Structure formats: C-alpha cells, structure tokens
Chains A and B, each alone.
Chain A
Amino acid sequence: MAQVTQLIHDYLRHNKKFPHVYCAGCGHGIVLGSLIRSVHSLGYAKDDIVLVAGIGCSGRMAVYVDFNTVHTTHGRALTFATGIKMANPNLKVIVVMGDGDAMSIGGNHLIHAARRNIGLTTLVLNNNIYGMTGGQYSPTSPEGTVSATSPFGQLERSFDIVDMAMASGASYVARGTVLHATMLDGLISDALEKPGFNLVEILTPCHTQYGRKNKFKTVVDMYQWYKKNTMKLDRYRQLKPEEQAGFTPIGVFRDEMRPGLEVRYEELRNKLQEQR
C-alpha cells in the first residue's frame, strides 16, 4: 500500500484537481492506475511523456497526471498528437480517448493515424456510452441498447474497435478490460514499447449511464459480465465459430514491428539533406 501511495505522489497532481470526476464503480481510474504503473515500470521520465486526451470522461484523465498534458477538442486528440510526434519524435506520446471520441467524431482521424502508422500509443476507453453528456448511445453501444437517445433500444450495429484498427493498418492492436487489471498493465507496457501506431481497446464499465438502463443492477454485475463473457485470445481462437458466439476475445491481436511515420520521415529528410 505504501508503494501505491508513493506512486500517487509521484505521478498525480494530487494537490491540484482532486477529488476526481469519476463515478463510483467507474473503470477509468483503473486505467489511470494501470497507465501509471506501466510508465513507472518502464522507467520513462515524466518530462518525456505527453498525454493527449479528447473530450469526455476519459479526457479528464489528462488533468490528473503530472505529465505534459494536452486536453484537446472532441475527437481530435489524434491530430494534435500527430503534430506533437512529428515535431518531436523523442517524446512518448500517449493518446487517451473514449469510444465516442475515437469511433464517432474522431473515426476518420483514427483510421488515418493507423494507416500512416504514426508512433502513438492510443488507449480507447470503451464504455459503450456517451457518459459525460448524460448517457446517449455511442457507436460501440450494442444493438438494442437503451439510452437517453434510444429509449426504445437502438437499431444500429456497433463498431468493433479492434477490427477497425487492424483493418486500418495499426502495427500493434490489443484489447483488455479493467477487470483484468494485471493483464492490462502488461498490455499497456507492451504497447508503449512498440514502434508505430499501437492501440489498446479497454472495456470499462459505466454503470451510471449505461449499466442501470441495460439490465445491470449493480456495477458488480458489469464486472461479472466481463468475467463471464471475455476470453483470452489464444483460447478463443481454438473455438469453433458457433462456440465463439457471446464471447469477446482479449489479448494481443497484432504485433508487427513496423517503424512509425516519424522515423520514416526523418530517414527521408536525412537522405535529402545528405544529397546537398
């Protein structure tokens, strides 16, 4: 416990902006803890880390951590991060977004950041809902979700963030949950060390805005759901398609060691400048 307290003192702006905005049972704090443990275990200097966040509950994470922090506009975090990384490739740029941020308003930026394989570590906190604005359905809300803007159940199919990132060309893609916190530490540390665009989708419950309206009596039920309905990827892949139904695989989906755009651009620049 003393060790945890020390980490809090080292990495959080504790005297500035606490108590935080997160509801009881929210998983965002677990992600924050996991991120801090990962950064600590890898020994990065706080000065070298830029945390870029979008708008929404996840976006507020930027204000709590004692890194260089940029709280951007809704959906645009990746564009700011792209500029920062291209401007100074030595910085470790971490992007934190929610599902509405990453897949709806910022969907175009996500697929293009993945396509150009810019060296960013992207955490998408997927709670299947627009929490901060009061619980409207998001592009990852499952079909049938009851929300503030789908009182009769929503009719649209939802995005799979991992599939989207893979199809767009991200070089490292993983999924974890806040229930599997130790595994999450591993995934985030792993992602931080990879070149190119890497993305970790993190399933995190929003009981206040999503759970209550969608048959999860308590937040514990939501964590129970993660326990029962997620499965390690290697085991999941051994199942027949009909057995896979109802399970969400977690783990590392892609791990290609491809250099990021910032590295390739630097190579181009060096080549051109040597010619002169």
Chain B
Amino acid sequence: MATKKRKKTEMFALGNEAVVEGALLAGCNFYAGYPITPSTEIAEVMSARLPRVKDGVFIQMEDEIASMGAIIGASLAGRKAMTATSGPGFSLMQENLGYACMTEVPLVLVNVMRGGPSTGLPTSPAQGDVQQARWGRHGDHPIIVLSASDVQECLEMTVVAFNFAEKYRTPVILLLDEITAHTREKISIPGSEDFEILSRVTPSMPPEWYVSYEETMRGVPALPPLGSGYRFHVTGLTHDQNGFPTSKPDEVKALMHRQFRKIDQFFYDIQLVDEVNCNDAEVVVVAYGCVARSAELAVHMARERGVKAGLLKLKTLFPFPKTAVQALARQCKALVVPEMNMGQISREVKRVNNGLTHVITNNRVDGQIITPSEIFKNIMQA
C-alpha cells in the first residue's frame, strides 16, 4: 500500500505522458486525435486512461481536421476537451481552430514541434511553429500560446492551459518540442489541494434572458453545455451578441474588440515567465522550451566565470510577455535570444525592446538542440 501511494505522487515519465497526467488533473474528459510523431504517446496514454475516467471519451478521428472538429463539438457539449499533434497536423487544424477562436470555444491543443516545413524532420526537435501558433488562422484574433521546458512543466502547463481555456473561453495552444516531449524525468503529481482547477462560467439566468455573446466587463460570456435548456446559435460567421450572423459595422467591431479585450486586459494573469539570476543580470538570455534548459546551464557557466548572466524563461509566448522583457531590457546591456528557428520569438523581443538594449539572436535549424556552450559563447561576447 505504501509503495502504491508513493507511485501516485512520483513518476518517471515522458513529457508526453506528463501532459496526460496534467490534463486528467485539470479535468480533461474528452480527447480526439490523429497519430503523428512526436506527439503520439499523448494519444496512446489517453486511449488507455480516458475510458477509466468518469464519462471519459477517447476517439481517434480520420484526420487532424476532424480531431479539431470533434473537440470543439465536445467542448460545446460541456466537456473539457483536448487534442495533440505535430507540424503537418497542426497546419491541418488551423481552419477549425479559427472557428474555435471565433465562437470562443474552450479547448487545449498540444503541438509537439518537429523540424519543418512539410514532413521535415519528424523525429527531431524544432521551434518553428511559434508564429504559426500565433497567426496560423486567417483573420484577426487573439489566442493564448504556452510552452514548457521540462517534464514537470509539461504537467503544470497543461493544467494552466485548461484553466486559461476555461477562464477566458478561448483555445489555448501548448507548444512543446520533441526533446521536452520525449525526455523522461521524475515528476511529482500534485494533490488536488495543491492547485486550482477552473471551469467555464455557465449561465445562471433563465434561458429566455440568456444572451450568448453578451458584452460584459470581463468580456467572457457564459457558455452553457448544449442540451441544458439554453438554446442558442453557434456560427463561424461574424455574429451579434445573440450569436446570429451580422455584417453591421458596429456589431462586427464590438465582437472583434471584445474578443481582443478579454485576453489583453488580463495580461498580468496570462503572461507567465520564470526568472533565474535576473536581479543583477547584465546579460539576460530569453528562452523557452528545451532551449531554456541549455540556457540555464549556460547562465551557470557564465556566473562561474564571473559574468552576471540571467535567464528569462518564457512560459507564455502569446500574448507576448512584454512587461517582463521590457523591465530586463532596461536593466541589462544585452538580451540573448537562442531558439531553434530563424528568429520567431526574437522578432517579438526586438519589437518590445524597441531600442532599449542590444538584442543578440542565436538561431539553429539543423534539427539539433542549441547547446549550452553556444549560448555561453554568446553571453561572453555580449
């Protein structure tokens, strides 16, 4: 019995397996997906776990388009739903993901980034989907994009992803990379008292008073599950407060502005970062995903040699943590931005830096992780 209890709180798990643990802790009870390397373990573990969860459903769909459709449907029916995919599948999901943005359907999408474009490097890590995660859908819209750099964080950020999805009624993308997803590490599974689980607000007024896309202070309308007596219309067409199609400029504007406002005004809640040795740092590395781990070692190496280096680890990628980056940009003589793409976050860093300090990019696109010594060299030269 004692061993069983210990196993429940501690586990040697893959990043992908930790995502499942996090999702189940957050109350996920619906998964639809399509097999794709390197995200497949998430589906495999879900298929074994969900039928053992109360009302849990796992379904393997015919493609990623269908997977996204199914989780939107399930979420509208009141479920906490998620899917997981990689590169090509992520591209296929964009159309329906845009629908989820437009109709404000809470859901979680885990994208384990691999080398691209196209089939690319299926078993190698990359961070090339960062801007696609932000802007992959057509049209203007807000979205929350999170990231995790180790296995414990895979669990924690999955919980955060579900909480943000439910709280802000929005799709949330969790961007992992092949290394984080396929590294095994010891994780501790928190007890239910150790963290908060949020669920969407459902209407409490009589059905005839319910306004499905009502303008409110928080900007997040209540969402009842389908079939609960609140009959309303959901459409990907631009809609008025009642959910019916409209093209009246003032109604269109109100919808768009509210959708942006509901995310933007809560930036302090959403923009998550970790700072390591940043207090007195003269050179700050801004990193995310597996590269943040290389950066952490590089910062320690630099400190051993007397260079005041620090790490700003981005856990939220979008909305971009402007406040945290700007504060450090004002204090340090250089920001080093290592990433496994040609500069997708560094362009955000440069945008918010806006001339405050020197920004050094460190890019690698050969399917290999950026090593600590590469970052170390950049810190030393800064």
B221 at the interface (CB under 8 A from A): no
CA distance A70 to B226 in the complex (A): 10
Given contacts A76-B65, A84-B226, A109-B62, contact A265 B57 (CB under 8 A): yes
Whether A109 contacts B233 by the Cβ 8 Å rule is: no
Tell me if A's interface is mostly helix, strand, loop or mixed. Answer: helix
Given contacts A63-B244, A76-B66, A265-B57, contact A91 B227 (CB under 8 A): yes
CB neighbors of A among B73-119 (8 A): 73-79, 81, 95-96, 99
Whether B231 contacts A76 by the Cβ 8 Å rule is: no
B237 at the interface (CB under 8 A from A): yes
Question: Which residue of B32, B99, B245 is within 8 Å of A83 (Cβ)?
Answer: B32
A248 at the interface (CB under 8 A from B): no
> Chain B nearest CB: distance from A208 CB in Å?
21
**Closest B residue, CB atoms, query A115:** B62
Given contacts A62-B235, A112-B66, contact A269 B229 (CB under 8 A): no
B323 at the interface (CB under 8 A from A): no
| Residue among A66, A70, A87 facing the most chain B CB atoms (10 A cut-off) | A87
B61 at the interface (CB under 8 A from A): yes
A68 at the interface (CB under 8 A from B): yes
- A-side contacts of B228, CB under 8 Å: 47
> Chain B nearest CB: distance from A95 CB in Å?
11
- B-side contacts of A268, CB under 8 Å: 51
- B-side contacts of A108, CB under 8 Å: 62-63, 66
Whether A79 contacts B61 by the Cβ 8 Å rule is: yes
Question: Which residue of A73, A87, A261 is within 8 Å of B77 (Cβ)?
Answer: A87
CB neighbors of B among A13-52 (8 A): 13, 16-17, 46-48, 50, 52
A272 at the interface (CB under 8 A from B): yes
Given contacts A90-B227, A265-B51, contact A82 B73 (CB under 8 A): yes
Question: Which residue of A47, A87, A273 is within 8 Å of B57 (Cβ)?
Answer: A87
> Chain A nearest CB: distance from B20 CB in Å?
17
Given contacts A84-B226, A87-B77, A273-B52, contact A71 B234 (CB under 8 A): yes
A69 at the interface (CB under 8 A from B): yes
Whether A62 contacts B233 by the Cβ 8 Å rule is: yes
B210 at the interface (CB under 8 A from A): no
Whether A84 contacts B51 by the Cβ 8 Å rule is: no
**Closest A residue, CB atoms, query B77:** A87
Give chain A's interface residues, CB within 8 Å of chain B.
13, 16-17, 46-48, 50, 52, 62-63, 66-73, 76, 78-88, 90-91, 108-109, 112, 261, 265, 268-269, 272-273, 276
Q: List 14 A-B contacts (CB under 8 A).
A: A50-B227, A70-B76, A70-B234, A70-B235, A71-B234, A73-B95, A73-B99, A76-B66, A76-B69, A79-B69, A79-B96, A80-B72, A83-B76, A83-B81
